[in-house]
Amino acid sequence: MHDPRLIFEKDHPGRRIVRFPGEETLPDLETLIPKDYLRDEEAPLPEVGELDLVRHFTHLSKRNKGVNDSFYPLGSCTMKYNPLFNETASAQHGFTDLHPYQPIESVQGLLEAFYLAEKYLAEISGLPHVSLHPAAGAHGELTALLVIRKYIDSLGDDKRRTVLIPDSAHGTNPASCTFSGFKTREIKSSKKTGLIDVESLKKAVGDDTAAIMVTNPNTLGLFETDIEEICAIVHDAGGQVYMDGANLNAIMGVTRPGDSGVDVMHFNLHKTFSTPHGCGGPGSGPIGVADHLEPFLPVPRVAKAGDGYTLSTDYAQSIGRTRSFFGNSTVIVRALCYILALGAEGIRDVAHNAVLNANYLRVKLGKTYPVAFDRTCMHEFVATPKGLGKARAVDVAKRLIDLGIHPPTVYFPLIVPEAIMIEPTETESVDTLDRFVDAMVQIAREARDDLDQLLDAPHETPVGRPDEVRAVKEPVLIWSKR
Amino acid sequence: MPYIQNTDADRAHMLETIGARSLEELFEDIPKSIRWTGAFDIPEALSELELADAVNRLALKNITSSCRPTFLGAGIYRHFVPELVNHLAGRSEFVTAYTPYQPEASQGALQAFFEYQTMICMLAGLDISNASMYDGATALTESALMAIDLKRKKKIVLSAAVHPEYKQVLRTYLQHAGVEIVEIPAENGVTPVDAALSSLEGAAALVVQSPNFFGCIEDVKSLSAAAEAAGTLCALSVDPISLSVLEAPGKQGVHIVTGEGQALGTPMNFGGPGFGFMAARSEFIRRLPGRIVGQTEDKAGRQAYVLTFQTREQHIRRARATSNICTNHALVALRAVVYLSALGRTGFKTLGKLVAAKSHQAAEMIAAIPGFEAAFGAPFFKEFTIRCPRPAAEVNGILLEKGIVGGYEAGRDFPGSEHHMIFAVTEMTTDYELNLLIDALKGMA
């Protein structure tokens, strides 16, 4: 039976789990720290017993769904299998029990892991210099834009302050621009192809163009076929090309962004390189850059030193530090394990099977859910609930939860009304894809025969659709004792 | 093909369904001119057996802090992590889930983050908290950005005793924002209140850390009062463990509290991933960066949790968002909830008392060695600065030869402080380790 109580409501004074050696004979705090600085009242954390605590969080876990539970075709998020081996490998003390300031000679194994991760990401992207610092994709974007800004400043150019962003881009793109001191200008996608309209781009570039941010493949799951020309137009105008690498999964091993003219990109290790999303992080968003941007990368940087490795801050033109210490080390170790397990050949197999799975679904599902810009896609595609009458994308999403499937991304990209963005990833089996199609077809049937129950979905979940308006109008953001 | 379940027969069947002759055909949109036809300089695929060997070899090349006494702190700390944290936060329903955008399938994570927000507010003495950020440095930076936005003023007054890397991150983020950063030098290891007060005119925020980088507890009450008097926000970066015994900053007039949460149930991880936390007064809700969980009900009146106030965020507001943050450090924050629940109020307070007792014992023993003395007179919690008879780097060199990792050399960031060493002592420091340190320091005068 569901126990809705919060951990605070299970408080039972006197229950203790963790005890510390020496805690019985402690001096009075006031003899150590002046009373003025001390708490009047202790922080009212709950006191629970060990078994009750274990049950509390186990119960919560059962009210949560991950990739290990069910199919998770969340577009743009690349919810692929997170190899269990990597969890154990990255959690060993040899990686976790290390202080960031301990002598450099005593972290050579970790630095080697960083060095290899940088090298392999450089190989895959065709961008020779990599920084592992960014903690997430948006952090990588910001870091990359700061690098571009510093590069432009180094040329003494104070006019280039506009970043061009296609209207299909992730929301983090324009937000990152704002935080690096750029203005944004939106570029319309072609209504016919869903791709960047080269003619509009030509009109948009000028001597104020700092950069373009391109997501390739884009958020419709389409490869920007004119990418070379796009890069050339922006370069000719004196701008830089930034690639949002959120969708790298579709193309790795098939084409390298650096080879088409991209100057800088970010990688999502928590998408393409199989590290888990952990309910929203920690991720890792390294960036790769071409030679001319290398001097501006954040510090410290991993460098070869004799037979070993060191961390160096000796880069006069660097943008500086973008976070404390180094990158998200255990996430990077997981990604390295993944690359080593795939090997040189396996990287291409990932892209091949991701694209195969997506197109299989596109063709089978497209009969019931018309696909926006319906042609061969890359790793994902955007379907629509056209023909489902009153049922909207959100209703389809919610009903899927009842059927044991995590919903796709809905209402994104913004340029497709009622978008249902589906990304199966390469790790799903064809059996799972078929079951998904069956579920979607069943929902379409329900839209015709049993609309009311569809509009009320989900029914089988711990809660139905939460009242989001109330959450804002009468905000309850922390627990308090009634 | 590692991790791929499709067989050759599956692929043939799928291609047929698609109406494509080959996998190659699916990639026709990618121009031939940019196809990668080379071979990556990446080794051939390793079996799990080989991979284990390779990665274990890398791990074994590092020397962990449990192998030898370590007195480093400076933002990342070795605290005890109960094993149940690994088990519960390591459950795959949490580890392999996405951000809880679909509340019906994510009530577990949402409730856990609601509990997290509550606990952070309990420690900070404030009303609202987000559901985590990247780290302490970016959280401090975002608190400054938030203040700039709220106050519409382009000046930050920064205590020099803030973690050097945090200060650098703040400068990196603000370098193109046209914001003036006025740094107030520390006096006797703390931020002088009068100097702060006289710099505050036109400032959006006074940014302070307590206990500060030298381990000294700041006079938070006076500093926040100075900020209040100048119409400025007081943004404080804290060590969450210290809040087991130190007064809640919110009760001392602080407007925004941030910090590095690693110490709450996560190993040091070479400095990352930990997580950043941020709490504030409720009036700032619409400017708070990051994800926020709220409690509400579903149609049937059942208690439900949901991500709320999303109009602040980048996926809605895009260029006008309060922050560009999207992915945060949720799973590490989840560890903190489990950790704080496992300690409970008595356990957490006991931990604080134990850490304070051990650090004071250590400081006293070191200061009793001829040539060594406490650098500052200010109260401290778990870190303290010692003036050594020789340059701290030299002292550390000698300690290392004896198998001891000494404290942080303040001279790395503070010119003129070459003899200062910042020691961290936690509940993990044993009497045996402390005695080894004392013996090694003796005779260095």
Alpha carbon of A296 to those of A118, A176, A214: distances in Å?
16, 18, 21
DSSP A441: H
Report the alpha-carbon distance of residue B338 to residue B266 in Å, rounded.
11
Q: Can you spell out the DSSP letters for A106-117?
A: GBHHHHHHHHHH
Nearest CB partner across the interface for B55, out of A97, A141, A337:
A337
Structure tokens at B302: 């059942």
Residue in chain B lying closest to A362 (CA): B18
pLDDT at B317: 74
Sheet containing strand B155-159, edge to edge, reads B128-129, B276-280, B256-260, B233-238, B205-210, B155-159, B180-184
Q: Can you spell out the DSSP letters for B159-188?
A: ETTS-HHHHHHHHHHHTTTT-EEEEEPPBT
**Tens-place pLDDT, residues A27-85:** 999 999 999 999 999 999 999 999 999 999 999 999 999 999 999 999 999 999 999 99
Residues of B whose CB is below 8 A from A173? 318
- Alpha helical stretches, state H, A155-262: 172-179, 198-204, 227-236
Residue spans of the domains in chain A: they are 7-62, 85-341, 345-468
CB atoms within 10 A of CB A442: 13
Task: Answer for the pair A262, A127: CB distance below 8 angstroms, yes or no.
Answer: yes
pLDDT score of A2 more than 90: no
Q: Is A142's Cβ below 8 Å from some Cβ in B? A: yes
**In sequence order, what are the residues at sequence separation of 6 or more whose Cβ sits closer than 8 angstroms to the Cβ of residue A205?**
A164, A212, A233, A234, A236, A237, A239
- Alpha helical stretches, state H, B235-329: 314-317
Nearest CA distance, B227 vs chain A (angstrom): 19
pLDDT at A356: 98
Alpha carbon of B54 to those of A84, A110, A330, B428: distances in Å?
16, 12, 16, 31
What is the rounded average pLDDT of the residues A418-435? Answer: 98
pLDDT at A56: 98
Residues of B whose CB is below 8 A from A474? 296
Q: What is the CATH number of domain A85-341?
A: 3.40.640.10
Q: Looking at A238-326, which runs of residues are DSSP E strands?
A: 240-245, 264-267, 287-289, 301-305, 308-312
Residue in chain B lying closest to A40 (CA): B247
Q: What is the mean pLDDT of each run of 10 residues along chain B (445 residues)?
A: 96 98 97 96 98 98 96 98 98 97 96 98 97 97 96 97 98 93 98 96 98 98 97 98 98 98 98 98 95 96 94 75 84 98 98 98 98 98 98 98 98 97 98 97 88
CATH, domain A345-468, list 3.90.1150.10, 3.20.20.70, 3.40.605.10, 3.40.720.10: 3.90.1150.10
What is the rounded average pLDDT of the residues A113-140? Answer: 97
Q: Is A286's Cβ below 8 Å from some Cβ in B? A: no
Q: Is A180's Cβ below 8 Å from some Cβ in B? A: yes
| DSSP β-bridge partners for residue B281 | none
Residues of A whose CB is below 8 A from B30? 223, 225, 251, 254-255
Residues of B whose CB is below 8 A from A276? 95-96, 331
Length of chain A: 482
Q: Would the CB atoms of B342 and A100 count as touching at under 8 Å?
A: no
Considering only CA atoms, which of B118, B172, B169, B415 is closest in space to residue B272? B169
pLDDT at B322: 73
Provide, for chain B, the percentages of residues in helix, strand and coil under a 3-state DSSP scheme, each rounded to the nearest 5.
45, 15, 40
> A478, A479, A480, A481: which to substitute to probe chain B, counting the most B Cβ within 10 Å?
A478
Give A 38-97 residues with CB within 8 A of chain B.
38-40, 42-48, 50, 53-54, 56-69, 72, 74, 77, 79-83, 85, 87, 89, 91-97
Report the alpha-carbon distance of residue A263 to residue A137 in Å, rounded.
17
Q: Can you spell out the DSSP letters for B41-108?
A: SSPPPPPHHHHHHHHHHHHHTB--TTSS-B---TT-------HHHHHHHT-HHHHT---S-SGGG-HH
| DSSP β-bridge partners for residue A243 | A214, A265
Average pLDDT, chain A: 96
Considering only CA atoms, which of A364, A25, A55, A46 is closest in space to residue B358? A25
**Tens-place pLDDT, residues A189-240:** 899 999 999 999 999 999 999 999 999 999 999 999 999 999 999 999 999 9
pLDDT at A171: 84
What is the rounded average pLDDT of the residues A376-394? Answer: 96
Strands B205-210 and B155-159: parallel
Residue in chain A lying closest to B380 (CA): A33
**In sequence order, what are the residues at sequence separation of 6 or more whose Cβ sits closer than 8 angstroms to the Cβ of residue B397?**
none
pLDDT at A293: 98
Nearest CB partner across the interface for B94, out of A33, A64, A401:
A64
Q: Is A100's Cβ below 8 Å from some Cβ in B? A: yes
pLDDT at A405: 98
R_g (Cα) of chain A, nearest Å: 25
Considering only CA atoms, which of B80, B241, B303, B331 is closest in space to residue A467? B303
Considering only CA atoms, which of B245, B305, B322, B359 is closest in space to residue B107? B305
What are φ and ψ of residue A218, in 5° steps?
-80, 180
Q: Would the CB atoms of B105 and A47 count as touching at under 8 Å?
A: no
Rounded (10°) angle between helices B330-367 and B431-441 = 50
CA torsion sign for A70, A71, A77, A83 is: positive
- Alpha helical stretches, state H, A219-277: 227-236
What is the rounded average pLDDT of the residues A314-342? Answer: 97
Considering only CA atoms, which of A151, A155, A139 is closest in space to residue A295? A151
Nearest CA distance, A389 vs chain B (angstrom): 23
- A425 conformational bin, left if phi > 0, alpha if psi -120 to 50, beta if neither: left
Domains and CATH numbers, chain B: 83-338 (3.40.640.10), 344-441 (3.90.1150.10)
**In sequence order, what are the residues at sequence separation of 6 or more whose Cβ sits closer than 8 angstroms to the Cβ of residue B125?**
B247, B248, B249, B250, B251, B252, B254, B257
The fraction of chain A above a pLDDT of 90, given in percent, is: 94
CB atoms within 10 A of CB A474: 11
